[in-house]
Amino acid sequence: MGADPGDRVEHRSLDGADVQISYDDEPKPGEPTSFSWRGALADSALRGTVGKETAVTLLLRKLGVSDIEVGDAEFDSEFHIISSDEEQMRSWVERPAVREALLAVRRRAACIVSIWRQGFEVTGQLPDDATVPDPQLESFCEALYRSAR
């Protein structure tokens, strides 16, 4: 869990797991601030990616590449969700607290949530006028991480 020079990095222990939160403290003028929240997982059965629905993901859908939908029009229009185990990922995303946290993260930053066997990561960019660090964003990431464990 490394970081680039110039990043603001904090390491924490959360329920016995190592987590790292980093912000790019020196973005170039007019560029957004990069952000990442990473945590270790112990052999997670949950695997997949939750990202923003874009023109590219909509085009992929038209070409037959489907994503996971939960039947909530607002949520499904905001996110593109893929997983090697659709049932497991759908079950996680259908939890109201998870959907609320994903929407809250999306309102604060342009992020992608990735979950794999040994880890969890939220990476993205904060708007130009964002406060760094952003404790609210970090708390939503923590809630997602805890729900994935």
Tens digit of pLDDT per residue, the chain (149 long)? 445 555 899 999 998 899 999 998 777 777 888 999 999 998 899 999 999 988 888 888 788 878 999 999 989 989 999 999 999 999 999 999 999 999 999 999 999 999 999 999 999 999 888 888 999 999 999 999 999 99
pLDDT at residue 13 in the model: 93
**pTM of the predicted model as reported, rounded to 2 decimal places:** 0.90
What is the C-alpha to C-alpha distance for residues 82 and 49, in angstroms, rounded to an integer?
5
What is the C-alpha to C-alpha distance for residues 33 and 36, in angstroms, rounded to an integer?
10
What is the C-alpha to C-alpha distance for residues 54 and 39, in angstroms, rounded to an integer?
27
Backbone angles phi, psi at 146, to 5 degrees: -60, -40
